């Protein structure tokens, strides 16, 4: 699918829409946003940005990206870092497997490729977490190889331009990629890719597209037929609703946290004990059952501390957080369980629901401190 056309083939090609890339390119040069990853050709930095930008918006990514490069300025620094620091730097971005893969890939590159990111498609795509999108994006943006990228923005632009009906799917993607390959410019392919993404983000938006400002309006089938807002047809998305109970257990200023298993959902992250409410249970029954199952002890008293909502992957989670007093029995020891003070909690990577709880505990603690220092 991704054999590189050679220069002669590129030059030889008939380009019926030859002015389309030129128009998009001109528009891009005047309207593009100055994003930090567009100011570099360093493949590591571009790679980090592309991995972060999968499933996350540009504005949400920028602060993470800047901080990441302070912590791990190059592939060697990332490879040397312990996984916990890597996950901590990713905390809040979600889809943590992306961070684990990037870390693993950095180690592979240092071990097998002398610390240089491979510029060949087959070698690069063999690394953990690198799929066709990341490979095309990094190799085109950093090494100027003529691979078209197809992310959600480009897909929308392409489907509208060429008037593809229906939902996005793998077959439509393959046809679209072939069409884009057919008009891919001989020079400045990196800018062409960026320009298509930028057009999708700024003009060819999912809702209320700015067709009157679009540089390629005259080429656009969807605009001509007035279908720009119905292409692509919306995906059928179903979110599973989950109610979760969480127990905050403290002893002499330390809180009990535990690590999730190394495989599966949110693998390796830390959290407060708790779990899903089962059908027919009250929240308090669910809390008592979960604590008994996980820690082997009874909850003596509990008090609802806060309610939180957050969404990830396909789940919409409502968290009911209880402060718990346990029965006297000492907790059995376990290697994946720790008592941690508030300050040190900051060093542990948590899923975003638990991270919100940590912030709540910090705020509560600093309120207490203020009251103590002001006095009665």
CB of 27 to ligand ADE, least distance (A): 15
Rule CB under 6 A: which of 179-238 touch ligand ADE? 194, 197
CB of 32 to ligand ADE, least distance (A): 9
119 touches 135 (CB < 8 A): no
Structure tokens at 179: 């069409």
Q: How far apart are CA 47 and CA 78, in angstroms?
A: 13
109 touches 115 (CB < 8 A): yes
Closer CB to ligand ADE, 50 or 271, in the complex: 50
Rule CB under 6 A: which of 23-42 touch ligand ADE? 35, 37
Q: Which of 20, 24, 51, 53 binds ligand ADE (CB under 6 A)?
A: 53
CB of 197 to ligand ADE, least distance (A): 5
Residue closest to ligand ADE (Cβ): 53
For the chain, what's the residue count? 376
Q: Establish whether 9 is a catalytic residue.
A: no
Nearest CA to 151 out of 135, 127, 163 is that of 135
CB of 251 to ligand ADE, least distance (A): 46
Q: What are the residues whose beta carbons fall under 8 Å from the beta carbon of 194, sequence distance 6 or more?
A: 28, 32, 38, 141
CB of 54 to ligand ADE, least distance (A): 7
Closer CB to ligand ADE, 91 or 151, in the complex: 151
* Residue 58 binds ligand ADE (CB under 6 A): yes
Closer CB to ligand ADE, 45 or 100, in the complex: 45
Candidates 9, 15, 39, 50; catalytic one: 50
Closer CB to ligand ADE, 151 or 271, in the complex: 151
# binding residues, ligand ADE (CB under 6 A): 8
78 touches 106 (CB < 8 A): yes
* Residue 151 binds ligand ADE (CB under 6 A): yes
Give the Cα-Cα-Cα angle 241, 245, 246 (nearest 5 degrees).
130
Structure tokens at 210: 């700015």
Site string for ligand ADE, 64-103 (x = CB under 6 A): ----------------------------------------
DSSP secondary structure letter of residue 206: S
| CB burial string 321-352: b at 16+ within 10 A, e below | bbbbebeeeeeeeeeebbebebeebeebbbbb
From 50-58, 97-105, 257-265, 270-278, give the range in contact with ligand ADE by CB under 6 A: 50-58
Q: Which of 43, 50, 142, 158 binds ligand ADE (CB under 6 A)?
A: 50
* Residue 302 binds ligand ADE (CB under 6 A): no
* Residue 306 binds ligand ADE (CB under 6 A): no
CB of 52 to ligand ADE, least distance (A): 9
Alpha helices in the chain (DSSP H): 7-12, 19-31, 43-53, 58-71, 75-80, 83-90, 97-112, 121-125, 132-143, 152-161, 170-183, 189-202, 221-225, 283-295, 342-345, 352-374
292 touches 376 (CB < 8 A): no
CB of 3 to ligand ADE, least distance (A): 23
- Residue whose pair of structure tokens reads 């709540």 in the numeric block: 360
Closer CB to ligand ADE, 91 or 198, in the complex: 198
Closer CB to ligand ADE, 194 or 354, in the complex: 194
Structure tokens at 298: 């009874």
Q: Catalytic positions, please?
A: 50
By CB under 6 A, name the binding residues for ligand ADE: 35, 37, 50, 53, 58, 151, 194, 197
């Amino acid at each position: 699918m991704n054999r590189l056309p050679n220069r002669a083939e590129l030059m030889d090609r008939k380009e019926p829409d030859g002015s389309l890339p030129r128009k998009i390119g001109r528009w891009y040069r005047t309207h593009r946003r100055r994003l930090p990853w567009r100011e570099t050709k360093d493949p590591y930095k571009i790679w980090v940005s592309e991995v972060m930008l999968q499933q996350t918006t540009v504005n949400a990514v920028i602060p993470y990206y800047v901080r990441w490069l302070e912590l791990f300025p190059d592939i060697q620094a990332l490879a040397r870092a312990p996984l916990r620091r890597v996950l901590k730097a990713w905390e809040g971005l979600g889809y943590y497997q992306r961070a684990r893969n990037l870390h693993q890939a950095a180690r592979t590159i240092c071990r097998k490729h002398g610390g240089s990111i491979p510029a060949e498609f087959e070698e690069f795509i063999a690394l953990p977490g690198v799929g066709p999108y990341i490979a095309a994006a990094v190799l085109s943006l950093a090494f100027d190889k003529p691979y078209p990228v197809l992310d959600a923005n480009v897909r929308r632009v392409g489907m509208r331009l060429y008037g593809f009906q229906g939902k996005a799917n793998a077959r439509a993607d393959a046809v679209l990629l072939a069409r884009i390959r057919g008009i891919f410019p001989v020079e400045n392919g990196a800018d062409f890719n960026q320009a298509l993404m930028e057009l999708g983000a700024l003009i060819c938006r999912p809702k209320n597209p700015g067709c009157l400002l679009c540089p390629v309006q005259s080429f656009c089938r969807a605009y001509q037929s007035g279908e720009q807002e119905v292409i692509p047809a919306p995906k059928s998305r179903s979110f599973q609703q989950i109610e979760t109970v969480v127990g905050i257990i403290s002893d002499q200023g330390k809180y009990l946290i535990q690590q999730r298993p190394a495989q599966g959902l949110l693998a390796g992250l830390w959290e407060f004990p708790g779990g899903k409410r089962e059908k027919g249970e009250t929240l308090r029954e669910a809390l008592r059952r979960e604590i008994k199952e996980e820690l082997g002890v009874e909850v003596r008293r509990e008090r609802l501390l806060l309610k939180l909502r957050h969404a990830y992957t396909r789940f919409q989670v409502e968290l009911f957080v209880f402060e718990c007093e346990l029965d006297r029995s000492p907790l059995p020891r376990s290697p994946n369980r720790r008592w941690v003070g508030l300050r040190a909690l900051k060093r542990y990577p948590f899923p975003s629901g638990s991270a919100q709880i940590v912030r709540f505990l910090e705020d509560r603690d600093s309120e207490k401190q203020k009251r103590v220092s002001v006095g009665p």
